[in-house]
Structure 1
Amino acid sequence: MYSLSDFDFHLPPELIAQMPLAQRSASRLLHVDGVALYDRAFADIVDLLSPGDLLVFNDTRVLKARFFGAKETGGKVEVLVERVLDGRNVHAQVRASKTPQPGSRIRLADAFEVTVGERAGEFFTLHFPSDVFDLIEAHGRLPLPPYIAHDADAIDEQRYQTVYAKEPGAVAAPTAGLHFDQPLLDRLRERGVNFAYVTLHVGAGTFQPVRSENLAEHKMHTEWYTMPAATVDAVRATKAAGGRVVAVGTTSMRALESASQGGALQPGSGDTALFITPGYAFRTVDRLVTNFHLPKSTLLMLVSAFAGYAEIRAAYAHAIERRYRFFSYGDAMLLTRKD
């Protein structure tokens, strides 16, 4: 049995990427093939995939979900929209010196007021005066991860978003997808690699550390996903033809595996709180493209379950020694499932 301390490691702070590279596909790729490690360029992924393989992308779009505002009393408030419930209502984190009361109002971005509703666990329900997506896009700020030290600017608004982002709803990017630009996608199609899409709206909980040494005591954050019937058909066709299903990012992985809990991949939508740790039996995904993850994080546990605990430990030590760039704007890995 693994415990939390088994997933800790020391990362020199200067290896945390603070800015994206000038070109998306110019990042490095650590190819982990069992115990063998290969230092490659990300664009080499074209040659590492075979005709008939299926790349599964998460097409969620990051919202400008962060707001600064004030309560009716004048007290300062920071709001992070966690989930859009419908056209007028959201669940949000609200940081204030005193807990806002139901029925009170908060003015956001000095542009509009929301009404505080009932609590939903750690979140507040906020009622918007008009269309949520319009107000978020017009007045919100892009919520960069807490380990990125600068405020979001115009570069971030473009680069902290995949080129295929479509469905608005995430508060964090599916970062493995940030390495794909259109020329690289075109080369993959020319090679005969197929594409399919899922939607998983990444929540702020993805950055929350696990605090219990006993992993069984950790309560996983929930995220909303949609598994289209077309993607299910593409996965089945790929498997039948002997191809490999390659998840682009841990979010695509969670969606695919969540929709496979009945044994076979099924279409549909719903919340997932799937917590993947070593010992998990993967049902659908054969390979994984992923960035490097935080110490003691659920995502580090996921990749350790997928590629092997010892293999990931060795890969991370190698990446630190070779000065790879870590986290959202960092470099990537290509992993193969260890059966």
Structure 2
Amino acid sequence: MTRLRRAAGLVLGLLAAVVVGPALAAPLRAVCMTDRPLLAAGERAVIIAVTDAPAGAEVQISWSADGGALVPAGGPGETRWSPPAQSHGVFVIRAHVHAGAAEAGETADCSAQIAVIETPNRGGGETLISTRALLPPAAHEAPDYGLYSYVLFAAPPTDQETDLFDAILKSYLTLLRSQDRLERCCPEAFPHPRLNVTYVPVQQAPPGDFHQRELNDQVAWIRNHYDYDRAFAWLTRLRDLPDADPSLRDGAVWIVSCQRPLGGKEDPRPGFQQDLSAVPVRFIERRMRIFASQTMQPRDYNPHSVALLQLDLRIGIAQAAEGLEAVSAAIKTLGGAE
């Protein structure tokens, strides 16, 4: 299985079709998403169609594109697209979705846009490995990582925000490998420049049995011991930098990535960020998977490649929200417009 296939499997869930289902109670909606909204000639992308058809509904999907080749990928809601040879530009891949009985039911359409350019500047050939680490007050970020990322909550959650915080922390714990375990196991195989470490600040070191606890217990421990003051201080530092991204003024729940540590004295930029404050809980895992997938791609993080990464994320996340009104408020990610 290729890295592209693994990334697609991580980024998006598959749409499963079953034989017999209930009548649809509301107009059908569909969303098309891609793991690679920015390609070089010769690369391929996976596109997945997701629908809100009720469980048990019979679903059929047909694909088309205004150029290039489409072949089946891993399931009924998934296709793989290759751009035309020697062609650059923006291509549209479309899905027509039918849910319900053959002679009745509902239909919906969605599309994904993929930009094909001559040479995306992704830097060197090594893929970064996304890891995670809890950071107690006495600890500081280790030097020389390939990328520094942070899950930042500006204030304790309200009753309405607890589910959002928990969903983010569950994705953090399940999608990313433990940095400490990798470095203790095989330090020569995982030198710091190969790692994108994602920090969560906590008020004290985790208990010795933390990794043996159930996932919900781990999430509760982090939420109850999260260092909101340190996170707010880091956000304030980013907001106060010269020519800071104005989008950082809003939002209380962020994932940010920087070339240098936020706890250091140097300007941490170049960097990029996602505002998760307005994202519905059911979309958090997909958003986290998109972020992890895109930030592990090899890049040299000069200003041009950072701009391309922001484009990757902005397009991919906008497509994830297309057609779903509840997500429209979250498309301000990375300073982008709806």
Q: Normalising by structure 2, what TM-score?
A: 0.29
Q: Normalising by structure 1, what TM-score?
A: 0.29
Q: Which has the higher contact order (CA 8 A, sep 6+)?
A: 1
